[in-house]
């Protein structure tokens, strides 16, 4: 039976927000400095060897990829390690469920907070890209909104994995075998037509690929049928994963 969350989910979001605001200085290198260094180091470093790709400089080409990849990574970290520690070690879920909040409210709050973290990271990268003149369209102002949607997708996916994780070390496999390879096989940093055929065949089924496509459309202002298709894939997959996350997490926590 599918149980829907209530407006009380915002309380879980606020709880995570308050913790973040208290500890943001210790988290800053991960969500503020790392993506900016990657954008500049890879864009300027590899850019000297990559040259022009699809009519644009390499550093301009990877801006959408960095935005999508870090929206994914930020939400995933928050809703894997963060959610697992709150559930298993700090027993935060047990304490919250003694209040009127339901487990579905908790899951919704976690997913919303993961997506909020994606907005923060994407906004920082967007600001740097704007300063360096790496944006070609005013549509780029919608990037934080798309980052939120991408965050919802990967937060929901992370919660599903948390519900099956036997220990915190399980996340090493999730990041190493699933999250990290997607950054390279989704067109984020390299054009898919320059990669082996097997990668091009797999790429359309990776959830980061439509996220990169959508970000690239906003950065360049070039919209086509792929843009609409990417949005529908992300929206549909997010809804399905969110409902699945609520069901499997209920089984994990309640049984």
Q: Are 155 and 106 in contact (CB under 8 A)?
A: no
Predicted confidence at residue 1, as pLDDT, reads: 58
Q: Is position 4 within any domain?
A: no
Model confidence at 41, pLDDT cuts 50, 70, 90, reads: confident
Q: pLDDT at residue 4 above 80? A: no
Contact yes or no for 55/98 (Cβ under 8 A): no
Does 220 map to a domain? yes
The model's pLDDT over 234-245, given as tens digits with 9 standing for 90+, comes to 999 999 999 999
Q: If DSSP codes are grouped into helix, strand and coil, which group holds residue 52?
A: strand
* Mean pLDDT of the residues in the chain: 90
The pair of structure tokens assigned to 185 is 């096989």
Measured CA distances, 145 to 4, 27, 40, 193 (Å): 23, 22, 23, 29
pLDDT for 39 beyond 90:
no
Residue 117 lies in a domain: yes
Query: Does residue 94 fall inside a structural domain?
Result: yes
Three-state DSSP at 97 gives coil
**Structural domains in the chain (count):** 1
Does residue 3 lie in a domain region?
no
Residue 28 pLDDT more than 80?
no
Q: What is the model's pLDDT at position 49? A: 72
Q: What does the pLDDT look like over 116-175, one tens digit per residue?
A: 999 999 999 999 899 888 888 999 999 999 999 999 999 999 999 999 998 999 999 999
In the structure, what pLDDT confidence band is assigned to residue 35 with cuts at 50, 70 and 90? confident
User: Looking at the predicted structure, is the pLDDT value of residue 44 above 90?
Assistant: no
Q: Tell me which residue of 55, 69, 98 sits closest to 206, measured CA to CA.
A: 69
Number of Cβ atoms within 10 Å of the Cβ of 29: 10
Query: Phi and psi (nearest 5°) for 49?
Result: -105, -30
Res. 216: pLDDT tops 80: yes
d(C-alpha 3, C-alpha 10), whole Å = 17
Residue 132 structural domain? 9-254
Long-range CB contact pairs, 214-218, < 8 A, 24+:
214/68, 214/146, 214/150, 215/64, 215/65, 215/67, 215/68, 215/143, 215/146, 215/150, 216/64, 216/65, 217/139, 218/64, 218/137, 218/139, 218/140, 218/142, 218/143, 218/146
Average pLDDT over residues 186-214: 88
Report if residue 225 sits inside a domain: yes
Question: pLDDT (tens digit, 9 = 90+) per residue, 93-116?
Answer: 999 999 999 999 999 999 999 999
Nearest to residue 247, comparing CAs of 4, 48, 7?
4
Q: Tokens 């549909």 belong to which residue?
A: 236
Q: Residue 200's pLDDT is what?
A: 81
Is 39 a domain residue? yes
Using pLDDT thresholds of 50, 70 and 90, give the confidence band for residue 184. Answer: confident
In-domain check, residue 36:
yes
pLDDT at 61 > cutoff 70: yes
Question: What is the torsional sign of CA 202, 205, 208, 212?
Answer: positive
Residue 33 pLDDT more than 90? no
């Amino acid at each position: 039976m599918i149980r829907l969350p209530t407006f009380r989910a915002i309380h879980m979001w606020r709880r995570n927000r308050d913790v973040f605001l208290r500890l943001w200085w210790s988290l800053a290198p991960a969500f503020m400095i790392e993506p900016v260094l990657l954008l500049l180091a890879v864009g300027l470093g590899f850019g000297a060897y990559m040259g022009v790709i699809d009519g644009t400089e390499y550093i301009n080409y990877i801006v959408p990829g960095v935005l999508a990849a870090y929206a994914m990574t930020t939400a995933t970290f928050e809703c894997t390690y963060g959610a697992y520690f709150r559930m298993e070690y700090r027993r935060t879920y047990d304490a919250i469920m003694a209040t009127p909040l339901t487990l579905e409210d908790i899951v919704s709050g976690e997913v919303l907070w993961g997506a909020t973290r994606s907005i923060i990271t994407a906004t920082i990268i967007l600001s740097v890209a704007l300063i360096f003149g790496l944006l070609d369209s005013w549509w780029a102002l919608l990037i934080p909104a798309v980052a939120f949607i991408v965050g919802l997708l990967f937060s929901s996916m992370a919660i599903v994995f948390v519900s099956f994780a036997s220990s915190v070390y399980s996340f090493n496999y999730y990041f190493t075998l699933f999250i990290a390879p997607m950054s390279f096989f989704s067109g984020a940093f390299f054009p898919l037509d320059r990669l082996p055929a097997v990668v091009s065949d797999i790429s359309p089924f990776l959830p980061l690929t439509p996220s990169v496509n959508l970000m690239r459309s906003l950065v360049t202002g070039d919209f086509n049928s792929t843009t609409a298709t990417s949005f529908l894939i992300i929206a549909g997959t997010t809804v399905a994963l969110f409902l699945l996350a609520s069901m499997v997490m209920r089984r994990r926590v309640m049984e």
